[in-house]
A and B are shown apart, each in its own frame.
Chain A
Amino acid sequence: MEVVMAFVIGFLFMAAVYLILSKSILRIIIGTSLLSHGAHLLILTMGGLDGEAPPVLADGVTNMADPLPQALILTAIVISFGVTAFFLVLAYRAYQELGTDNMDEIRGKLSDD
């Protein structure tokens, strides 16, 4: 299963990078979302997928999933949510102020002085 997941994660990363390289600011944020999904799944996969029960103490359970990657992912989900929300509002304000969502039109101009 880990091998399949490695390919799925690679696919997610590929899609995310392709979106991030696009011109539309909304697509870039979608790309970052996909990138964080890929990263979360990668952490989970690297922790091993052979657990047979959730990491909760219960009688008779011996082979439970690794709890540590899950704790790390939980933290990462919340942080990436905070950042995504910030990005979205930033993009929304940029629409309002600049009147465009095209990255090529809001690129920094080289000043001569």
Chain B
Amino acid sequence: MTQVLLIFLPILFALLLPMLHKKISRVHTGWFVLLVPFALVLYYASFVPKIGDGPFTSTFYWVKSLDLSITSHLDGLSLLFSLLITGIGTLVVLYSIFYLDKKKEQLHNFYFYLLMFMTAMLGVVQSDHLISLYLFWELTSISSFLLIAYWYKRDKSRFGALKSMMITVFGGLMMLGGFLLLANAGGTYSIRELIANSSTIAESPYFVWMIVLILLGAFTKSAQFPFYIWLPDAMEAPTPVSAYLHSATMVKAGIYLVARLTPLFAISEYWIWFVVASGIITLFWGSFFAVKQTDLKGILAFSTVSQLGMIMAMLGAAGIALHVDSPQQTIFAFAAYAAIFHLINHATFKGSLFMIAGIVDHETGTRDIRKLGGLMSLMPISFTIAAIGSLSMAGLPPFNGFLSKELFLTSMLSLKEFELFNFSTWGPIIPWVAWIASIFTFVYCLYFAYYTFMGKGKVDKLPKKPHEAPIGMLISPIILATLVVVIFFIPNVIGKYFIKPAVLAIQPQLYNASSDVAIHVQAFHGFTPELKMTIGVVLIGFILFLTLKKWQPLYQLQPDKLSLNNLYDRMMRLADVDSKKISELYMTGAIRHYLMYMFSFIVVIVIATLFWKDGFNFSFENTAKIGLFEIIVVFVLVASTVTVFAARTRLTAIIALGAVGYSVALFFVIFNAPDLALTQLVIETVSVALFLLAFYHLPKLSRHEEAMPFKMRNFLIALGVGIMVTLLALSAQSQKLIPSISQYYKDTVYTEAGGGNIVNVILVDYRGFDTLFEITVLSIAGMAILGMIKLRLSKKEKKSNENE
């Protein structure tokens, strides 16, 4: 129970923030917030030594009757992510205390969203229930939306927030669909139980659909190709947010999901192919376009995209371990290890790089790399951290990026030896793509560090006079940069306590305990092909970097129209402008058109139903005889109806309508309905009087009288309705299934109700409620008419009111 409650600790604490912010305004609100992630780090760290013994689970039933629970399931993978979230969270909050001004910024909003995000993210990585996982997942989208639009007065912030929202929520909804299919096939919502049933789920006809839908969710969240476009635009957020959400945590939610569901879906070749292919393409695409960027955070955004692709590709390779014999011996067994290792490394160096970019922005007033340069002597500490981060990202020793990059190249090289699923055809291309992507990675890492801190200084032209950042701002990046170096020297300690338990969660089929994961990482593992590749990367990367100014303009050749951002903009326009055009096409505002649609659809639906259901079944038995008198009234009725149309003046039309009403009354007389005849006569008289009244008050403007012009379209619709009614009447008349209940009324009208006039007794006795409410209708109509005539807030009065 504590375990579940602690997921909600950040957001519960956030409720206190507005109060803290108001009451204690002397102290930066961030100092109070700092306590929360720090306490959580300590709590989760206490699990590290004992996680090898097995997972820790705690459940809170939310809606028990629907089997909805919020479960905190801590195994190696969840624990690693929880530690990343709270650990980087602590550092980011510390950094933000110095980054955000306590007087100028709305800090309570910022920290509220940040803590909300922290709860959401902890929920995502610890949930064992698919629906609660989805709920936390959407909460990360919402809090990320709020954080990106933190400076909501800027257009670009709002645009970026909306874009990330649209794309991630689209993916989230697809993922929900996949989850529902999955739970339906597996019969449970618990991820652990689903993994145990994976072989039965694989037989489901919707198996591929589940994979596609769930991967859509993971790919949109983790900014994979082609859904990465929201991430560069999300850089409008404050830098602590970019460092936290868009490099270390939220974008890894998709990675988490893929890792978590690998034991379930890696049976399928589609899963492996989709994950590997999207990872490799994203890796290449992101690193290729990172060199084009001129904004510091833009470079980092594309590098994040690229590195996420790399982790994704390794996770795909990890899935292959389920398909080969004696997997412990093969390279695929440690692709998962490599993925998790790089995930940790990426969180450390990318977090520190974002913080440095923020510091540069803060101290110089610009993030444009073309304006920066020569800051090394002015900001030596920042430069050292940036150099460590960049070189680690480029994959050079003695930094942790080197180790995971070697592992990555190893697993990609081994893909071509894999026989199943056509990997032998396409496999050989993959290491090449990965290698070229590594070269570009090397180039943009140097590009980032060199053009910011070295080269010719243009210090005088900067918006602010640059100087070293305050120490408080530097603490967090220093800690992260220290980790970058430390991990290089003790990779196996990290491996034992953090990576191996996580690998056990990703590949539970291969191992019994985390200590079985027999992988030992060495800084130097012989003169292997990977090392040769790395040397090649460095050599070619250097040449490319030195000639950067010559070939970088080539990027301008890419036409804007062909970019993915343009595609997104076009789709948004389609949804907005073009759909409005479509609705304007039929929403004309004229009631006549709407009536035409309604009548046409009614006619088509009724006649089609009659046709398909064999409703046409006419028999003319049991009908009453046709008398002469009736025929005469029919003629009178038809003739007066025709007169309504033929009338040149409205007066004639109204009188003809009266004639129709009176002939209907005559019908009532003929067909033995004296009460109806009486009512009809009276009401027709009053109605005609009302019509004449309305006629009398016609404005002079439109008093030109004319006959109705003939309209073919209207006539056809009217004819359709007439035919439909006639057909309905005839077929209903021919198919009477049960006798009328009126015999009961006839038998009991005197004995039960004490009356002779059956119609009247029905109205006031058997079915008195009808009459009660019919009286209500009449009185409402009367009051409404009175209101319309008496209450006049006319235009003139309104105008005079406005003038006052």
Q: Which residues of A contact B (CB under 8 A)?
A: 1-23, 26-27, 29-30, 33-34, 37-38, 40-42, 44-58, 64-68, 70-71, 73-75, 77-79, 81-86, 88-93, 95-97, 99-104, 107-110
With A and B bound together, what is the CA distance between A34 and B695 in angstroms?
18
With A and B bound together, what is the CA distance between A3 and B733 in angstroms?
9
With A and B bound together, what is the CA distance between A17 and B660 in angstroms?
16
Is B767 at the interface (CB under 8 A from chain A)? yes
Complex interface: chain B residues within 8 A of A68 (CB): 740-742, 745, 762
Give chain A's interface secondary structure class: helix
Q: A1-B624, A15-B645, A67-B762 are in contact. Are A81 and B673 (CB under 8 A)?
A: no
Flag if B653 contacts A30 (CB, 8 Å).
yes
The residue on A at minimum CB distance from B716 is A18
Flag if B624 contacts A33 (CB, 8 Å).
no
Complex interface: chain A residues within 8 A of B676 (CB): 40, 44, 70, 73-74, 77
Is B532 at the interface (CB under 8 A from chain A)? no
Complex interface: chain A residues within 8 A of B763 (CB): 71, 74-75
Instruction: Output the least CB separation between A12 and chain B (Å).
Output: 7
Instruction: Output the least CB separation between B666 and chain A (Å).
Output: 11
Instruction: Output the least CB separation between B400 and chain A (Å).
Output: 55
Flag if B756 contacts A56 (CB, 8 Å).
yes
Complex interface: chain A residues within 8 A of B756 (CB): 56-58
Complex interface: chain A residues within 8 A of B624 (CB): 1-2, 48-50
Instruction: Output the least CB separation between A50 and chain B (Å).
Output: 4
With A and B bound together, what is the CA distance between A81 and B625 in angstroms?
32
Flag if A44 contacts B630 (CB, 8 Å).
no
Flag if B592 contacts A103 (CB, 8 Å).
yes
Flag if B634 contacts A4 (CB, 8 Å).
yes
Instruction: Output the least CB separation between B202 and chain A (Å).
Output: 53
By Cβ-Cβ distance, the 6 closest A-B pairs, closest first, are A14-B722, A10-B726, A82-B781, A18-B718, A67-B758, A6-B729
Flag if A3 contacts B638 (CB, 8 Å).
no
Q: A56-B757, A78-B683 are in contact. Are A109 and B641 (CB under 8 A)?
A: no
Stretch from B124-132, B275-283, B511-519, B784-792 forming part of the interface with A: B784-792
Is B664 at the interface (CB under 8 A from chain A)? yes
Flag if A77 contacts B683 (CB, 8 Å).
yes
Is B654 at the interface (CB under 8 A from chain A)? yes
Q: A10-B722, A22-B714, A46-B732 are in contact. Are A65 and B699 (CB under 8 A)?
A: no
The residue on A at minimum CB distance from B691 is A88
With A and B bound together, what is the CA distance between A13 and B724 in angstroms?
9
Instruction: Output the least CB separation between B675 and chain A (Å).
Output: 6
Q: A4-B630, A89-B785 are in contact. Are A79 and B777 (CB under 8 A)?
A: yes
With A and B bound together, what is the CA distance between A82 and B779 in angstroms?
8
Stretch from B203-211, B218-226, B349-357, B583-591 forming part of the interface with A: B583-591
Is B738 at the interface (CB under 8 A from chain A)? no
With A and B bound together, what is the CA distance between A8 and B679 in angstroms?
21
Flag if B668 contacts A44 (CB, 8 Å).
yes
With A and B bound together, what is the CA distance between A95 and B778 in angstroms?
24
Which of A6, A57, A95 interacts with B697 by CB under 8 Å?
A95
Is B527 at the interface (CB under 8 A from chain A)? no
The residue on B at minimum CB distance from A12 is B641
Complex interface: chain B residues within 8 A of A97 (CB): 794-795
Is B623 at the interface (CB under 8 A from chain A)? yes
Is B496 at the interface (CB under 8 A from chain A)? no
The residue on B at minimum CB distance from A77 is B679
Interface centre among A27, A38, A71 (most CB of B within 10 A): A71
Instruction: Output the least CB separation between B677 and chain A (Å).
Output: 10
Complex interface: chain B residues within 8 A of A47 (CB): 740
The residue on B at minimum CB distance from A58 is B756
Q: A15-B641, A102-B702 are in contact. Are A107 and B672 (CB under 8 A)?
A: no
Flag if A3 contacts B740 (CB, 8 Å).
no
Complex interface: chain A residues within 8 A of B708 (CB): 22, 27
Complex interface: chain B residues within 8 A of A18 (CB): 645, 714-715, 718
Which of A23, A67, A74 interacts with B742 by CB under 8 Å?
A67
With A and B bound together, what is the CA distance between A8 and B631 in angstroms?
11
Is B667 at the interface (CB under 8 A from chain A)? yes
21 A-B pairs within 8 Å (CB atoms) are namely A1-B625, A12-B637, A15-B722, A17-B722, A18-B714, A30-B653, A34-B644, A41-B664, A41-B667, A44-B671, A57-B750, A64-B758, A68-B741, A68-B745, A71-B763, A75-B763, A81-B778, A84-B687, A91-B694, A96-B697, A108-B589
With A and B bound together, what is the CA distance between A79 and B625 in angstroms?
32
Is B368 at the interface (CB under 8 A from chain A)? no
